[in-house]
Amino acid sequence: MSGGVDSSVAAWRLKEQGYECVGVHMQTGLGEAEIGHEVQDAADRVAGECSPATGDSSCASGGGCAAEGASGARQVAEQLGIPLEVLSFRAEFERIIVHFVDEYVRGRTPNPCVICNRRVKFGRLLDYADSVGAAFIATGHYARVLRQGGEVFLARSQNRPKDQSYVLFGIRRERLSRCLLPLGEMDDKAAVRRIAADLGLTAHNRPESQEICFVPDNDYRALVRARRPDAVRTGEVRDSEGRVLGSHEGVVNYTIGQRRGLGIAAGTPIYVTRLDAATNTVIVGPREELHADGLIAERLNWLTDPPPAGLWCSGQVQIRYHHAAVPGTFRWLDDGTLEVRFGRPQAAVTPGQAVVLYREDGVVLGGGWIARSTTRGDD
């Protein structure tokens, strides 16, 4: 429970369905204010660094982690008549921050919410649930867990504009059966707010956070510079033919598809098309050089039975959180990577982001992390 409207209404819906609910607020160690509340010692028994704590925290989009803090979560819990535990996940969040910074140093663009969901919300939090004998964990994400014919699937939310299944693809398949997503069947965010208002919940009019919880003022560049000043080095800006067009102040300051802030007068719009951290080079070009026919992904996670290696399959492909899925084909290769071909070229295929595969009915097949884009000439 973040103290925001989504997790608050999710808790209410579960209680109405007859579940015995315990709210859990995750403390990250990021700018908390002490509030003097102790949680039960059961958290100490969870493997790793999950321990009793106090404080406020915030998080970015990715579901149910809008930053309202433990005080807001406690107020909602009291209104709903359920207990609230505040647990520290500081060490786990520190590892997520280190990964986030390292990815930018490597010239990649990370998605920390996917990692947080896998490792913390549907990882360490489930470990805590086991320690206190809880059968399920639930969040305010907009996605669905479907139970059909003895199998469990992750699927898109009924509220497509708010769908967050993309950032949940990394959940371990064997853990899906322990997950509840009470808002997945609701097709209108306004209805969620109306429920909260009708219940008199203080969360009903709280704004949504669009920032990453550990990035103050949404300035990721400042975080990378502070953590890895050695990685911020002046280098060359080149075009795809290798011609030097200018200089840059550090690869970490750029992302694929970036147009503004390049400081190069080319006469026509140019974009960052590639980042080469090994040579400390930013490659730029016209918009058409942003387009790719496909991609290669690694570190796959399947939420359904994977197809036989080498077999081409078809489905819907999504390459960013705020991105419409497009038709595509894909095959799992013997080396454990995934080859994807788009039905039509896609712009700004970005290493470090996730690619998620869907069936036509919205069921998540699986996904992985984009290693590189491909063109037909790569065949």
User: How many CA atoms lie less than 13 Å away from 334 in the CB half-sphere?
Assistant: 0
Q: How many CA atoms lie within 13 A of 319 on its CB side?
A: 27
Which entry of 21, 65, 113, 213 is annotated as an active-site residue?
Answer: 213
Burial 152-175 (b: 16+ CB within 10 A, else e): bbbbbbbbeebbbbbbbbbbeeee
Angle at which helix 5-16 crosses helix 69-80, to 10 degrees, equals 20
Q: Are 331 and 264 in contact (CB under 8 A)?
A: no
Count of alpha carbons within 13 angstroms of residue 317, beta-carbon side: 29
Please calculate the CA angle 127-132-135 and round it to the nearest 5 degrees. Answer: 75
- Going by C-alpha positions, the residue among 294, 334, 277 that lies closest to residue 311 is 334
Residues paired with 274 in a beta bridge? 283
Structure tokens at 238: 């080149």
Does the active-site annotation cover 116?
yes
Q: Active site residue: 50, 65, 116, 179, which one?
A: 116
Is 57 in contact with 213 (CB distance < 8 Å)? yes
147 residue type, one letter: R
| Longest pairwise C-alpha distance within the chain | 66
HSE (side-chain half, CA atoms, 13 Å) at 214: 24
Q: Report the alpha-carbon distance of residue 160 to residue 184 in Å, rounded.
A: 10
In degrees rounded to 5, what are phi and psi of residue 56?
A: -110, 155
Please choose, from the candidates 355, 38, 342, the residue with its C-alpha nearest in 3D space to the C-alpha of residue 166: 355
Residue 65 annotated in active site? no
Distance CA 221, CA 49 (A): 28
Tokens of 160: 């497509």
Give catalytic residue positions.
116, 213
